[in-house]
Homo-oligomer: A and B are copies of this chain.
Amino acid sequence: MTKENPTLEDVARLAGVSQMTASRALNGRAGVSRETRDEVLRIASDIGYVVNRTAQKLSGGRNGIIGIITPTLDTQFSSELILGAGRAARAAGCEVLVYTMSDEERRTHHDVLGLVRQFSDGVLAILPRESLWLDLLAKANLPVVVIDQRGTMNRLPSVSVDNYGGAQLAVEHLIELGHTRIAFLGGGESIEGVRDRQRGYLDTLSRHGLPHTREWIVPGDLSQMTAFEVASGLLELPEPPTAIFTANDQSAFGAIAAAREAGLRVPDDISVIGFDDIPMAEQFHPALTTVRQPFQQMASSAVNTLLAQVAGHGAGAQRVTFAAELVVRNSTGAAPVARRRSGASRQGRKR
């Protein structure tokens, strides 16, 4: 199959029109009669014409490509978002190209930005954690939307989940199950979104008049391994918690492993609830109760915001926040009777 790719010129010639007319027809622009347009489209499709996006871009216009920049491909957080963005973009007639580079690689980010702007109309930055990109992006003078777990510090348009509200959901779920001794396994101070989760935890406890000793708030780093160790310590406390809310799902997995190691059953002896709802949460055993980030919605909102910006309908540095959703599965249950509460009877509540 050595057939060269057909070009606009081929389409135009075959349709007996000028390239301009063919171009207009293909792009659905005005200025083409109904029947000319149909004819052009038919021919283009017949000969398998695919517009050359690089030429399109070079010639000064847009090319319908969204660049995604992300330093971390290995977290489900990014994967989900990229897949979602791809779907949303394609639904809008665009394509998505991903550029990824681990943070430790010492490549000048400046160059990367230059590269990205060459082949795309704008960029979606997926930044699970603080990143050097932010500043560069801010002064890069090209359409950009950030998907992150951060707060409002940057002036870039961004979408994120309501971390505070999600934490509240998680803690209230535990409280309804009768838990009063609820621990928080954190994810470090550096990520604002994670701090929000902790604030949500604290405030919800207070609101319900529940104690929150310093002992029950332990620091993790979002990794399963660290969570295992830290949770183990938690369980050796003279007054151990009956439920643990972890900063993310990975940490929840670690906490569950720790519980088991300590001879505890989940959820009978101790409940664990995570945050994110990565695909593995459902597969895990026991299936993890968690707070879901609506990845698909976030991605699609980000894409649309970006596309609007590209089209010039930029609405400034708006920040969109999506509600989190509680997903009840099997890692949480009624508080053990040893120190029960009135709510212990109403346990059968499924999603």
Contact = CB atoms under 8 A, between A and B. Distances in A.
Given A2-B141, A80-B74, A98-B100, A50 B115 contact: yes
Contact of A285 (B74, B83, B258, B279): B258
Interface string A215-228: 00000000111001
Interface in A172-222: none
A284 B261 CA distance: 12
A285 B250 CA distance: 12
Interface in A282-332: 282-285
Contacts of A48: 110, 114
B115 A53 contact: yes
A117 B52 CA distance: 9
B105 A87 contact: yes
A152 interface: no
Contact of A83 (B73, B86, B97, B118): B73
Nearest to A90: B107
A59 to B, nearest CB: 9
A149 to B, nearest CB: 19
Interface residues of A, number: 58
Interface string A245-279: 00000100010011011000000000000000001
A280 B57 CA distance: 41
A54 B58 contact: yes
B97 A140 contact: no
Contact of A100 (B80, B82, B141, B285): B82
B98 A97 contact: yes
Given A2-B141, A141-B1, A260-B260, A118 B82 contact: no
Contact of A283 (B82, B83, B224): B224
Contact of A74 (B1, B76, B98, B107): B76
A279 B74 contact: yes
Contacts of A33: none
A254 B261 CA distance: 17
B228 A285 contact: yes
A188 to B, nearest CB: 16
A86 B69 CA distance: 13
26 contacts: A1-B140, A5-B117, A52-B118, A54-B55, A54-B57, A54-B119, A58-B58, A73-B79, A73-B82, A74-B279, A79-B79, A86-B100, A87-B105, A95-B99, A95-B115, A96-B99, A96-B100, A97-B98, A98-B99, A98-B100, A119-B119, A225-B283, A228-B285, A254-B283, A254-B285, A257-B284
A342 interface: no
A142 to B, nearest CB: 10
A236 interface: no
Contacts of A73: 73, 78-79, 82-83
Interface string A35-79: 000000000000010101111011000000000000001101011
A169 B83 CA distance: 36
Given A86-B100, A260-B260, A118 B54 contact: yes
Contacts of A118: 50, 52-54
A12 interface: no
A257 B266 CA distance: 12
A279 to B, nearest CB: 7
